[in-house]
A and B are shown apart, each in its own frame.
Chain A
Amino acid sequence: MWEVFKILDSFKDIFEKYYGKVYRQIALMINDDDKAQDIAQEVFIKLIKDPPHNDENIGGWLSKVATNQALNYMRSEKSLKVRELKVFQFNDTLISPEDMAIEKIENEKAKKVLSKMDRRDKLCLILKHSGYNYEEISISLGIKKSSVGTTIARAHKKFKELYEKEV
């Protein structure tokens, strides 16, 4: 109950520390960056609404919720069969449209490769490259902290292998 105050005080801190990671994780899981923003916001709304009790594991908790929300979204999209490649939106950005297109294509390829990987390896890679630490990854995936390094190393190898096969 005393945590009430801590949660209120630190919501902004938590947001600043984790929003980027949560967003990145979701953006890597789904094919729509705008939607990824929406889902990331849902994750933080859930944090206020129903925060975890043991808030020292906040990163692990957030990434678990993010995973669930992203999977949920993918399932609903799939069933509606409305998944189309989004038309690029050119905002006031420093990156030229050409660069952006190239980046986008590479990104699509990475996601395609990811989709061919074992679920645990895939998520582990996504979490790692979203910036979560080992403890958070271990909580999120439900694996031992001591085996996170091994899982990452193995997944990296697998990823590169599949990526090079993909044309």
Chain B
Amino acid sequence: MCFDEGTLQAYLDGEIDEALKDQIKKHLDTCEKCSNKLNELKNLNDFSEKAFKTSSIDLDKAWENLNKKIYKKERGVLNMLKKYKKYAAAAAAVALITASIALPPVQKVEAEILSLFRLNNFKAVTITPDDIQNIKDKFYQAGKIDLKQYGVIKVTGDYGSSKEFSKSNLDEIKSYVGYDFKLPQDNNDFKIRDSIYVQKGQSVEFKLNVDNINDLIKTFGGNKLLPENLNGKTFKIILGDSIHISSTDKNESDSSKNISYGLDIMKTPEIIVPEGVDIEKVRDAVINMPFLPDDIRNQIASIKDWKNTIPVPVTDADTIKDVTINGSKGIVISGTYEGSSDLEVYSNLALNDNDVIYWFSGNNMSPDELIKIAESMR
């Protein structure tokens, strides 16, 4: 059997899997027609390659310039934190992780050693630039702090490896990830792209050095300390396989403005807490950590169902709204930012349905548009 042009081109570009590669190689040895075809493709390839020569660039210089631009634009790290919400999230992650640890056992897995709970709800915790400045100031006063001495974080699982599926094989995806999920329906503006990617799950382990953390708390004048028996024990957050979906661009590629959404789906994360740890005490200590600005402290403390809630760090420029979609609770975070040329709009929608988390991220879509998409999930 001869191979089509596309397959031979992929072979030429080294984009073919091993098994098929051998098959093609063998076939080329005996088939004159295909080997001529391959030669022709190669010549065409070289011809274009030559025509497309561009001037080379100095990567180090480009990196330097990029950094200059980033810093100049934002006048220093702090303003960058304010504008770049992901960075703000990094600062907030301290609060997030500690708050996450401060969750009680709900369900036992390995009865003697471990307790387990699921994070089911979302609650926005606003981090303002002042908060970050505040934390920074306090740490600055204490001199240089090496975070390593406060604990170890270990991530297991192969990050970055993902498997591609076609949306026509939903059953295959479901059996691969081991849980059922829903998908939004296609409409005139947005269709789900054919390729769906599944990323293998990961687990994150924290082992805290309680003595050092308590010393730090004392240095800052705090008096609520972490329980001693937490020392050296391992907390584990388990993140299952996640599914990544993207929609087509409503504007198609001839417009500079991308209007589309992405959807990440995953099982609700589970946290395993060592048996015998007094979770109430941990929460108490975390909430009262002296370097937490009061407004963040109050926000975390006010989370009612803190046992099952994920604090979602947001900036004060974001608009937050609680929503109920087909009976499931969720949260919508939206805002605008100045793009390179025009104002761009983003909205995110997090939703928990049957212990599965759906995280929609819309580019240039209004919250209402995103809600409509989420409501069409079946």
Contacts and interface: CB of A to CB of B under 8 A. Distances in A.
Interface of A: 1-2, 4-8, 12, 15-16, 19-20, 23-24, 27-28, 33, 37, 40-42, 44-46, 48-54, 56-57, 64-65, 67-69, 71-72, 75-76, 103, 106-107, 109-110, 113, 119, 123, 125-126, 128-129, 133-135, 138-139, 141-142, 144-154, 156-157, 159-160, 163
A119 B53 contact: no
9 closest pairs, A vs B, by CB?
A150-B6, A72-B256, A149-B6, A54-B244, A149-B10, A149-B9, A156-B44, A110-B51, A153-B9
A24 B57 CA distance: 9
Given A49-B84, A53-B264, A134-B13, A149 B8 contact: yes
A123 B204 CA distance: 40
28 contacts: A1-B89, A2-B239, A4-B86, A5-B93, A12-B63, A15-B66, A19-B62, A24-B54, A28-B54, A37-B65, A46-B340, A48-B86, A49-B83, A49-B84, A50-B344, A50-B346, A52-B262, A57-B197, A64-B253, A72-B256, A106-B53, A141-B253, A142-B249, A145-B195, A150-B6, A153-B5, A156-B41, A156-B45
Contacts of B159: 6
Interface of B: 4-10, 13, 15, 41, 44-45, 47-49, 51-55, 57, 59, 62-63, 65-66, 69-70, 73, 83-84, 86-87, 89-90, 93, 96, 159-162, 164, 193-195, 197, 199, 202, 204, 239, 244, 246, 248-249, 253-258, 262, 264, 310, 312-313, 337, 339-341, 344, 346, 359, 361
Interface of A is mostly: helix
Contacts of B51: 106-107, 109-110, 113, 159, 163
Contact of A107 (B53, B262, B313): B53
Contacts of B195: 138-139, 144-145
B73 A45 contact: yes
Given A1-B313, A123-B253, 12 more contacts: A4-B86, A20-B57, A24-B54, A37-B62, A54-B262, A56-B162, A68-B256, A129-B48, A133-B15, A148-B15, A150-B9, A154-B5
A32 to B, nearest CB: 11
Given A45-B70, A49-B337, A15 B54 contact: no
A19 B59 contact: yes
Contacts of B57: 19-20, 23, 37
Nearest to B202: A2
A150 B5 CA distance: 6
A5 B89 CA distance: 10
Contacts of B93: 1, 4-5
A64 B10 CA distance: 22
- Pick the most buried of A19, A45, A139, A142: most chain B CB atoms within 10 A of its CB: A142
Contacts of B258: 64-65, 68
Contact of A75 (B164, B256, B337): B256
Contacts of B44: 153, 156-157, 159-160
B257 A156 contact: no
A125 B83 contact: no
B54 A33 contact: yes
Contacts of B49: 129
A53 B162 contact: no
A166 to B, nearest CB: 11
